[in-house]
Amino acid sequence: MIIVTGAAGFIGSCLISKLNQENFNFIIAVDDFSYPEKEANLVGKKIQERVDREDFFDWLDQNYQEVEFIFHIGARTDTTEFDRQIFEHLNVEYSKQIWNRCIDYQIPLVYASSAATYGLGELGYDDNESLIPQLKPLNPYGDSKNEFDIWALEQERKPFFWAGLKFFNVYGPNEYHKGRMASVIFHTYHQIKKSGQMKLFRSHNPDFADGEQMRDFVYVKDVVEVCSFLMHHRRNSGIYNLGSGKARTFLDLARNTFYALGLDSQIDFVDTPADIRDKYQYFTQANMSKLRSIGYEKHFHSLEDGITDYVTNYLSKGQYL
């Protein structure tokens, strides 16, 4: 029996699909199931039981003996939300309760951290645990993820295996419900379909030309492969980056989306909104050597291959993973 929190969300539902592919069908799906727009993410998936997010700990206290693994993917991920109490409840305190039960009940744990913890990248993008207390996230969401990472590292009592994953810019199927928080590739596709062109933010940094701002974009199929690897590996506990390991420009992203649609690129630039300009990241790139060092050998999708698969097999058809 495997628990997935955030089961109806983007990464959580893709993870359930991956687990089902591996014949893990006794899945306990934990989420707030009151959002009908997320329901399609779970259609056709093999799930043993749905448990409401607020009922989960009572459920776990009664059923822990049957649980083999917990993937804690659920979180409030809205980077524009500034109510810190929401993040304190859902991202910090909730995660602490899961952590402590994994210790008490001897359950291994993988949880979602975030590259948002790196802020503007003043200290780089190395998953060096000694640097984590010095990181300066740019918003309450990033703060909440970093706060839990720091807390986890400080604990004398830990699950017998645990891993925190700093997700970089994840894109791919099952993000239809995310609205403005969906990936840039999702928004690029829909903007091209609607207007035939794509508007990118102009650079306000003299070191970067317009559209040459860079991010580490990682395909969700690679993310769930790493999750599966860690479930089977169960050694080398710690906090790990999870990106592609290669920064790419927004121009690359837009041009590849046009290409996947069989269209010539039509790209314009607009000013970055003044209210986010001072917190805008011009470069992110995951150092993936730590995950590689514990034996993860699979290749990550290139941006070209990931966009082609996403656009051709999912976005263009309205398909889910």
Binding site listing for NADP(+): 10-11, 31-32, 38, 53, 73-77, 145, 170, 178
Query: 273: burial class by Cβ within 10 Å (0-12, 13-18, 19+)?
Result: exposed
**Distance, CA of 153 to chain centre:** 21
| Alpha carbon distance 8, 3 (integer Å) | 12
Q: Is 174 left (phi over 0), alpha (psi -120 to 50) or beta?
A: left
Beta bridge pairs of residue 170:
218
Query: 82: burial class by Cβ within 10 Å (0-12, 13-18, 19+)?
Result: exposed
Instruction: Please state the residue numbers annotated as binding site.
Output: 10-11, 31-32, 38, 53, 73-77, 145, 169-170, 178, 180, 187, 201-204, 215, 280
Paired sense of beta strands 169-171 and 248-249, if any = unpaired
Instruction: Please state the residue numbers annotated as binding site for substrate.
Output: 169, 180, 187, 201-204, 215, 280
Q: Is 44 helix (H, G, I), strand (E, B) or coil?
A: coil
Tell me if residue 279 is catalytic: no
Tell me if residue 193 is catalytic: no
Catalytic residue among 118, 141, 310, 314: 141
Residue-wise DSSP of 129-152 = GGGGGG---SSHHHHHHHHHHHHH
Of 197, 156, 223, 209, the C-alpha closest to 6 is: 223
**Distance, CA of 8 to chain centre:** 14
Catalytic residue among 136, 178, 199, 246: 178
Convert 283-296 to b/e letters by CB count within 10 Å (16 or more is b).
bbbbbbebbeeeeb
Q: Which two tokens stand for residue 80?
A: 């524009």
Catalytic residue IDs: 141, 178
